[in-house]
Amino acid sequence: MRVIERYVLREVAMAWAAVSVVLFVILISNQLAFVFKLVAESGLSSGIVLHLLWFRLVQQFLMLLPIGLFLGIMLALGRLYHESEMAAMQACGVGNRDVLRPIVLLAGLAAVALAWLSLSVAPHSAQAEIGLKNQAAREARFASLQQGKFRSFGGSNIVFYAESIDEQSVLHNVYAQRTLGDRMEIITAARAEQHGVGEAEQTFVLFDGERYEGLPGNPEFRIWRFAEHGIPVRLPEVGDVKLKDYQKSTFALLRDGRLSDYAELQSRIATPLTVLVLAVLAVPLARLRPRQGRYARAGQFILVYLVYLLLLQSAQSWMIRGVTPYWLGMWWVHIALIATAWMLWRQADGKLTWVRR
């Protein structure tokens, strides 16, 4: 590799790293807020926050790496054009193809990494996330009662509350509410014990309390006073969740052979292809006229990426619904972008002229 190619490679790699760091900080902030919201709403253990965050970030890398490289090429070449370094290179006989060679090498390495992430790591991460949520929900459902917090059991038709819990796990100042069809049962007790913690079948034994039973809105209630009263609780099992297409392994997509499976498989293959297509498209697109700012083409870069992404998503949806033929799939989007890159390359080489009126 020549000195000038190593120089371009270094500039693009540094710009890519800088853009990726900024996007990663934004991404991790957004995903961290989502995970905290999920844990708070679902009552999951706070210990799974880092695991869930990691699983979600692995899947989001598939979107971060292509846009990071695309913008990195724009920033690196934009600086070279703005500071007239590219003009000096062209005066010495360095053409666009010489600039493209190190960029394609970098994009090829990124495409290999993305292929590994898209076809293997991301589906495994999605399955692990589902399994972790399922296990955390099971543990939260079977966990012991906590003081000062309302807790629902038995499909949410039984609610318990304890003001305090002593060292012997005895509940004090207990409130319980149970729905029996249209009728409601409310129980208060001085103390209670929870038997069978961690099991599907549990029993709450309440001592020295009162039980109220009646129809809400009706003044007629039946009241019992008791020295000991047991409430059996049967917790529903947390069953296995049916995997969605994006959560299936690549082998499972090939084995099942449904149209939606093939659409998901093409979507995974499209991820590394996107990097290569965008890298080839970025070189002529980053070309600046004299005295243009280095960020003059930023809007065009972002627009091209968004259009490319939306077309891929639309092509996947059309393939699943049968709007486009099975054999065409999502390939036409890549072909359209490659044709656009070819036209820009011909224009950059002076072989394509535009008529202006």
Distances (CA, A) of 6 to 101, 104, 350: 10, 13, 26
Report which residue type is found at 309: L
Return the domain boundaries, the chain: 3-139+242-348, 155-234
SS3 of residue 237 by DSSP = coil
| Cα–Cα distance measured from residue 246 to residue 119, given in angstroms and rounded to the nearest whole number | 10
Q: Are 129 and 136 in contact (CB under 8 A)?
A: no
The predicted pLDDT at position 45 comes to: 58
Q: What angle do CA 134, 137, 140 make, to 5 degrees?
A: 150
Give average pLDDT by consecutive 10-residue segment, the chain, 357 residues. 84 90 84 71 61 77 87 88 80 78 90 91 82 65 66 68 84 86 87 76 86 84 88 64 75 82 88 90 82 79 90 90 84 90 74 39
Q: Are 339 and 346 in contact (CB under 8 A)?
A: no
Edge-to-edge strand list for the sheet holding 158-165? 151-153, 158-165, 170-180, 183-195, 201-214, 221-234
Distances (CA, A) of 159 to 156, 168, 187: 7, 22, 10
Start-to-end C-alpha separation, the chain: 44
The pTM of the full predicted model, rounded to 2 decimals, is 0.67
> What does the block give as tokens for 192?
């209670």
Burial environment of residue 99 by CB neighbours within 10 A (0 to 12, 13 to 18, 19 or more): buried
SS3 of residue 174 by DSSP = strand
> What does the block give as tokens for 238?
């947390």
| DSSP for residue 95 | -
The predicted pLDDT at position 310 comes to: 92
Q: Are 320 and 260 in contact (CB under 8 A)?
A: yes
Burial environment of residue 224 by CB neighbours within 10 A (0 to 12, 13 to 18, 19 or more): exposed
| Cα–Cα distance measured from residue 263 to residue 333, given in angstroms and rounded to the nearest whole number | 14
The predicted pLDDT at position 47 comes to: 63
**CA proximity to 51, closest of 30, 25, 32:** 32
The predicted pLDDT at position 355 comes to: 37
